[in-house]
Amino acid sequence: MEPVKNHKPAVVAIIPARYLSNRFAGKPLALIAGKPMIQHVVERAQRVELLSRVVVATDDMRIGECVASFGGEYVLTRSDHVSGSDRLAEAAELLNISEHDVVVNIQGDQPLFAQEIVAQVVQPLLDDPALPMSTLIYKIIRPEEINDPNHVKTVFDHNYNALYFSRSPVPFQRNPEETIAPTYYKHLGFYAYRKGFLLTFVALQEGEWERFEKLEQLRALEYGYKIRVVLTEHDSIEVDTPDDLRRVEEHLKKSCV
């Protein structure tokens, strides 16, 4: 895919939101401070000036009707997608997004994301038209996250190209008597893709690393594609359980967002 000269790509946010979840069915519609969680996410995204469009991609009309009720835009996708990227790719096709435009995957279960991170994750693709995708990382400051498999760790080269993502602590500290501990970085699930590459990516067969780690971004690395990582100062709370909802509500009360 050759970049188009003098083409300023549009940046479109797509928010995958499925109704069924193993741990929390109906999560996008769960109320936080009186609003459905998906509304919090959409309204934050709509305040990002860089974005030309914000669309929810869902497989359930209950979510679609909810989004329409507060004036948001949604597109109805198939219900058999294995991953969020598959849903993202179908939505990008349904929305007729140009091959060279940038698609940002904003997670529908992170209602408190800092608006600045959207520009941070998109900027590498605006700076380098040949770059296929980028994502965010955050320096781990809570020790309990290092060994938690739900917090994915990342290692990268001097040019901030990802080398590997793992649910295990990487790097492994071989000598426990070493006085300086490794710095660990966790992956935040915000991605930016060139739309043409997004379609290429979802057409690739599942990779071996991906199959073991259950991390679809490893597929891109295994097939030789670059993923640029961007170090951000903003962490983001994911809502996976009803207890997480309470944490988010407490955070909203303290910050008066």
53-100 pLDDT, tens digit per residue, is: 999 999 999 999 999 999 999 999 988 887 878 889 999 999 999 999
In a domain, 108, yes or no: yes
Residues 73 and 67 sit within 8 Å (Cβ to Cβ):
yes
pLDDT higher than threshold 70 for residue 23: no
Taking Cα atoms as reference points, which of 15, 20, 68, 74 lies closest to residue 44? Answer: 15
- The CATH number that applies at residue 200 is 3.90.550.10
In a domain, 135, yes or no: yes
Domain-located, residue 3: no
Nearest to 13 by CA among 72, 83, 70, 69: 72
Number of domains into which the chain is organized: 1
pTM above 0.85, yes or no: yes
pLDDT digits (tens, 9 = 90+) for 116-143: 999 999 999 999 999 999 999 999 999 9
250 lies in a domain?
yes
The answer as to whether 125 is a domain residue is yes
Range of the domain at 243: 11-255
Q: Is 4 inside a domain boundary?
A: no
pLDDT tens digit sequence for 170-198: 999 888 777 788 999 999 989 999 999 99
